[in-house]
């Protein structure tokens, strides 16, 4: 195992120091990443977080039009309530705070505890549980939260930026989760710095269907087949759960170790599948957004758009991991 | 070897189909990637290209504020003159065309031939040769062109967008190359789809210093050491060739398979080194920009900025691989 790190113990704080050095738009304090300019009076604050190792999620999505703060835990480990309490207090501009929580048992518990312990701030939580692969899993009661987290953060962040009240921001976040589905496929395992060896063994000729973003087991292992068939498997799982129709937001996401060229190969197949169902790729993202350290593989996340969600997706965003202005 | 592809023979065209499906801002014809809107009368056209496998370079940098066209060859293989001739003719808006050529023997020859054979278009070529690792290499007479290619494309692209004449756009491109230096370190080899096995063998305990972006040998192999020391080796090589001073544009670039978290760890060390020399990180990029398929490792590219170069770096850019508006 070769890692570009100093020590396994310091990797999260070393990486945060690098983020602070690279992005003057961020301020980092007590392992919480904030917008440097602080809260805007009257704007709903957005806080998310989770284990590290999924970068750019979440810290890379702090900035105008997305999150106000992110709480990174240690690698694949939930943030502690103190981080979340600090973040929640610090980003409140008087309009309350939305917690965006991926559905993992540890995250859910710690965000719940933090919400209860944060006095004088109105907090609403939204759970993201978009992964259709398995009903329960190693770290989860119910479906896992994966790629749709980015969609929720972007779209709720845009509505918050417009000055909408907490209830409306929470409602659109829930709506995005309900309209989104994901499915991931691993070609290789990932290796955490502390373990120093792959989280699981995957034979040289097989792939894992329905992989989680921490290497949790999926539905099945099958022999490696061409990208067209892998994309088809992912899309059948999604379409079988939420039939594709109308305008879609489509993300083909790399798990961290897959070349961009291969993600575009997969995207071409996903787009062909969508067209075959009579739906339309209206907006898209291709790249490494919700990763699992050095894992090779990809996931597909689909959201059924409407005019409002499309407008909020298109709204300007300025974060290290996602930025555009229109 | 597991790849997310259909076949080794179709991987480049399949990936280009994916780019076309994902990015309505691009038009792809005969293995050339263009801006969909075509040439703007009076604007200098920018054409670059090279072997595939370095994505997002170059096709991901076609768009407002950067390239007008990119000519992707097969994997790690130069584009053919016909592609370059097509691109050059198609992007000419009457003000001439700049060829941005990475210094590899095949690229240089084919761009030269294309420039000679393109009638009725004024063409100027700029060579990028920023890699301080080795003087000559497997595919190169003189230094290799690597990370600075992105800087040249961005800054020359911004000046062209302002309507500057060809000579001025070529001059700023050369100036960026002269002010830029790179050094790369590999933790692993890369695997091309056709070969199906790693391009070179690197023991589990060693790294290759001064690696090229096709896996060409570098200066030496040494035992893996912490990120701080690896960054120090890269920075010593750069600083020894072009002393750091004043405001710097600093890129810590992933070779394709390295997690973003680890790139930030490296960036923190690079930034500390820069500060130690009394220079300043004025602008920065951290991510996968000039890659070598699935190689794990990183490169550092530094450009000595001045006010003009900073202004052009900050100018709006809208491409799949790099986008911001200010």
Residue B168 touches chain A, beta carbons under 8 Å: no
Q: What is the ipTM of this complex?
A: 0.97
Provide the domain limits for residue A50: 11-177
Q: Mean of the per-residue pLDDT values for chain B?
A: 96
pLDDT in tens, B65-120: 999 999 999 999 999 999 999 999 999 999 999 999 999 999 999 999 999 999 99
Cβ atoms of A61 and A158 within 8 Å: the answer is no
How far is CA B119 from each of CA B94, B113, B115, B149, B227, rounded to the nearest angstrom? 13, 12, 8, 26, 51
- Number of C-beta neighbours around residue A13 at 10 A: 17
A34: three-class secondary structure by DSSP? strand
pLDDT in tens, A71-97: 999 999 999 999 999 999 999 999 999
B272 and B289 housed in the same domain: yes
Inform me whether the pLDDT recorded for B254 exceeds 90. Answer: yes
A64 and A121 housed in the same domain: yes
- Residue numbers in A near B262 (CB within 8 A): 3-5, 11, 15
A199 and A230 housed in the same domain: yes
pLDDT in tens, A155-191: 999 999 999 999 999 999 999 999 999 999 999 999 9
Burial class of residue B136, CB neighbours in 10 A (0-12, 13-18, 19+): exposed
What is the Cα–Cα distance from A167 to B183, expressed in whole angstroms? 51
What is the Cα–Cα distance from B123 to B170, expressed in whole angstroms? 10
The model's confidence at residue B326, banded by pLDDT at 50, 70 and 90, is low
B70 and B144 housed in the same domain: yes
B175 and B254 housed in the same domain: no
A221 and A97 housed in the same domain: no
Chains A, B: CB contacts within 8 A come to: 191
Point out the domain boundary residue: B129, B151, B179.
Answer: B179
Point out the domain boundary residue: B139, B164, B179.
Answer: B179
Please give the backbone phi and psi of residue B96, each rounded to the nearest 5 degrees, phi first.
Answer: 95, 175
- What element of type H or E holds A70? strand A69-75
Q: Is A58 a catalytic residue?
A: no
B186 and B174 housed in the same domain: no
B91 and B67 housed in the same domain: yes
Q: Mean of the per-residue pLDDT values for chain A?
A: 96
Cα–Cα nearest to A312, from A185, A201, A164, A197? A164
Strand pairing category for B297-304 and B247-254: antiparallel
pLDDT in tens, B277-314: 999 999 999 999 999 999 999 999 999 999 999 999 99
> What is the nearest CA distance from A273 to chain B, expressed in angstroms?
12
The model's confidence at residue A223, banded by pLDDT at 50, 70 and 90, is very high
Predicted local distance difference test score (pLDDT) of residue A194: 93
Rounded mean pLDDT of A259-284?
98
The model's confidence at residue A137, banded by pLDDT at 50, 70 and 90, is confident
A-proximal residues of B, 274-303, CB under 8 Å: 281, 284, 286, 288, 291, 293-294, 296-298
**Has residue B170 been placed in a domain?**
yes
Residue A56 touches chain B, beta carbons under 8 Å: yes
Rounded mean pLDDT of A37-53?
97
- Number of C-beta neighbours around residue A278 at 10 A: 9
What are the start-end ranges of the H helices in chain A? 11-22, 81-91, 105-117, 148-161, 166-178, 227-241, 260-276, 307-314
Inform me whether the pLDDT recorded for A193 exceeds 70. Answer: yes
Cβ atoms of B11 and A197 within 8 Å: the answer is no
Rounded mean pLDDT of B235-258?
98
Based on its alpha-carbon atoms, the radius of gyration of chain A, rounded to whole angstroms, reads: 19
What is the Cα–Cα distance from B190 to A86, expressed in whole angstroms? 43
Place of tokens 């491109």: B173
E strands present in chain B = 26-29, 32-35, 45-52, 69-75, 97-102, 123-128, 180-186, 206-209, 220-223, 247-254, 280-287, 297-304, 317-318, 323-324
- What element of type H or E holds B21? helix B11-22
Residues B263, B251, A62, A326: what is their CA dihedral angle, to the nearest 10 degrees?
A: -140
């Amino acid at each position: 195992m070769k890692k570009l790190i100093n020590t396994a113990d310091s990797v999260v704080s070393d990486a945060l120091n690098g983020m602070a050095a690279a992005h003057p738009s961020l301020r980092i304090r007590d392992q919480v990443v904030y917008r440097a300019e602080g809260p805007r009076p009257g704007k709903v604050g957005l806080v998310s977080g989770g284990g590290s190792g999924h970068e750019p999620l979440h810290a890379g999505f702090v900035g105008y039009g997305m999150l106000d703060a992110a709480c990174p835990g240690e690698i694949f480990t939930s943030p502690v309530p103190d981080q979340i309490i600090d973040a929640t207090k610090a980003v409140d501009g008087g309009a309350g705070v939305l917690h965006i929580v991926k559905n993992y048992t540890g995250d859910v518990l710690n965000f719940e505890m933090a919400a209860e312990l944060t006095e004088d701030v109105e907090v609403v939580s939204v759970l993201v549980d978009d992964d259709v692969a398995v009903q329960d899993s190693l770290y989860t009661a119910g479906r896992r939260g994966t790629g749709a987290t980015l969609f929720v953060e972007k779209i709720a962040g845009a509505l918050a930026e417009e000055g909408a009240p907490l209830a409306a921001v929470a409602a659109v976040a829930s709506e995005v989760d309900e309209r989104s589905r994901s499915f991931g496929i691993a070609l290789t395992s990932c290796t955490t710095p502390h373990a120093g060896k792959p989280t699981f063994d995957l034979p040289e000729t097989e792939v894992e269907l329905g992989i989680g973003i921490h290497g949790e087991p999926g539905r099945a292992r099958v022999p490696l087949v061409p990208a067209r068939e892998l994309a088809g498997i992912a899309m059948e799982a999604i379409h079988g759960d939420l039939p594709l129709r109308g305008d879609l937001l489509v993300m083909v996401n790399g798990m961290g170790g897959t070349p961009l060229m291969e993600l575009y190969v997969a995207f071409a197949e996903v787009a062909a599948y969508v067209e075959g169902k009579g739906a339309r790729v209206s907006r898209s993202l291709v790249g490494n957004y919700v990763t699992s350290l050095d894992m090779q593989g990809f996931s597909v996340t689909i959201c059924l758009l409407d005019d409002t969600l499309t407008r909020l997706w298109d709204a300007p965003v300025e974060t290290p991991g996602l930025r555009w202005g229109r």
